[in-house]
Amino acid sequence: MLTWILVAIAVLLAVPVVSYLWTLARPHRVRTETEITASPERVWAVLTDLAAYPEWNPFIVSAEGEPRAGATLTNRISGNGGTMTFSPKVLVAAPGRELRWIGRFLMPGIVDGEHYFLIEDLGGGRVRFVQGETFTGALVPFAGSTLDVAGGFAAMNEALKARAEQTADEPR
């Protein structure tokens, strides 16, 4: 009997460890992009004006905090028929170039999502805006459609594009 209990414990411990290691080698990635007729500085200004998100952002419907490295944000996203609030830590805040954060479910290693926004200057008052996320963690292989966020990313990209292009000539 003790042998079976030890085997059961070993299996219960091995499954999440193997699952976690698998996602490190093969993470779940989501990536979307759009071109915007506005300067990198303008796109950055719209992206980092978190207080204005409820006015235009269909995916991250509210965000609080400071978009600076080391800060913690409080974001509420809308998707898959509901809303979810999470508190990611900002990893990179490079004005006009990149905003990156990591959000975690419960604790590190369960479901970790490293979210990024890249602003690539194409010249001529145009940028390529890239939004993506890399998911790793023990529950990622079992998360199913919960991680299908490409539609939300694309909707946010288009709304950001419209806002940045609409207000590109307005002083900030």
What pLDDT is recorded for position 106? 86
What pLDDT is recorded for position 24? 67
Whole-number Å distance between alpha carbons of 47 and 145: 26
3-class DSSP assignment, residue 37: coil
In sequence order, what are the residues at sequence separation of 6 or more whose Cβ sits closer than 8 angstroms to the Cβ of residue 3? none
3-class DSSP assignment, residue 142: helix
Structure tokens at 2: 């003790």
Structure tokens at 110: 């369960």
Kindly give the residue spans of alpha helices, DSSP state H, lying in the chain.
2-25, 40-48, 53-56, 150-166
pLDDT by residue, tens only, the chain of 172 residues: 778 787 667 665 665 666 666 666 688 899 999 999 999 999 999 999 999 999 999 999 999 999 999 999 999 999 877 889 999 999 999 999 999 999 998 888 889 999 999 999 999 999 999 999 999 998 898 887 788 899 999 999 999 999 999 965 555 4
Distances, alpha carbon 168 to alpha carbons 41, 157, 164, in Å: 10, 16, 5
What pLDDT is recorded for position 172? 46
Q: Are 54 and 63 in contact (CB under 8 A)?
A: no
pTM to 2 decimals? 0.85
* 30-49: b (≥16 Cβ within 10 Å) or e: bebebebebbbebbbbbbbe
If you classify domain 2-166 with CATH, what class do you get? alpha beta
Side-chain-side CA neighbours of 98 within 13 Å: the count stands at 10
Distances, alpha carbon 124 to alpha carbons 39, 95, 128, in Å: 8, 19, 12
List the chain domain ranges: 2-166
Kindly give the residue spans of alpha helices, DSSP state H, lying in 26-110.
40-48, 53-56
